[in-house]
Chain A
């Protein structure tokens, strides 16, 4: 029942279509260089950068095989922390944007020297909501949820938990000081995302870091 000068059009594309296209190109690009990409997400202060530092400390290979992109609203501090560990790192400052996008990552990748690199970590902007649907072209999503945030965060932020391949419950050294029901937290993560692997880490004594490396290794081959 179109009027003469009106027309109905079915589009059916995802609103994230353009981002997904760039992410798919990045994925191909990483694959062609045999680089395994990891998107690390979680709230501000959930321990993402510390987790990367621990992963670097426990890495068995040559540190030149690792590269890190750091996403933050402001400052180069996290990239400086990683560089201080001897791993090349580039900072992406998003200004006011609360998540990384595929094009920000594609642009930043050009600044890294990637020959010899086999694992790329991308620390997303600290946020338990916004980054979840913006594909970056990475192969694995890790979501960090820390003990001080409270055990109800997974059930309150199920969309983020759904995107995770691995959920890392960080700062478990602080369990004695917080009212955090580990069993319930694990159960709720499992209900939301039955396929997700759930790990526990404590950066203070590197608990769980080797197991995290093992899980990453299993997914990357």
Chain B
């Protein structure tokens, strides 16, 4: 294992040492990155819009409405998580989980979407959530403004495809993310869409050289799509507990393989 990854690394070093390739690659990336910035901006605008409605429902004490808005609101956040995570203070404020706090749900520091999710589903109430909701909206708006002035680092953009798969593989595939509402399949949708978008943007740069690689990646994305499709319900998805054990395994294998494959995307594009 260690030996083979070392061999892989020296092969990569060879690729990287041909400086011309790297140079050319980063020039070629200008357009995909500009396009990706538009994609992220659109998503964060949608996130602000949806969060505004979600927060209004929470503050009005409309539990059912807030529950209905929770999952769709998060999808645009999940799609752009690699960029949102560049601002770790905001990512913590918006999307951290009870596990991140020693007193878990009872911890006064526990903020954001999942704090509200806990109140809505576990307590069936919006009591005490008003300040949390206000803070969430403020953080989401802050995220929008920071993204607007961000120069997107190419390696973060291209690496983002793998990062999204790592997130799913490490802590989402088990249904830990939305543990009160069980709306995890919506988040998956956002994560996979976000990763696939990045692959689509760089596809023209590697289509010739990396045809086999792209074929494998596409096949795994397709597996994910067909699997998730089985659980579609209206505009969204049924709850995570309905996911069959077999399909969970299929998804897990696809995610792990996508994480493996997409982790080479940066190197393939000559990005250090």
Do the two chains belong together in a single complex? no
Residues of B within 8 A of A (CB): none
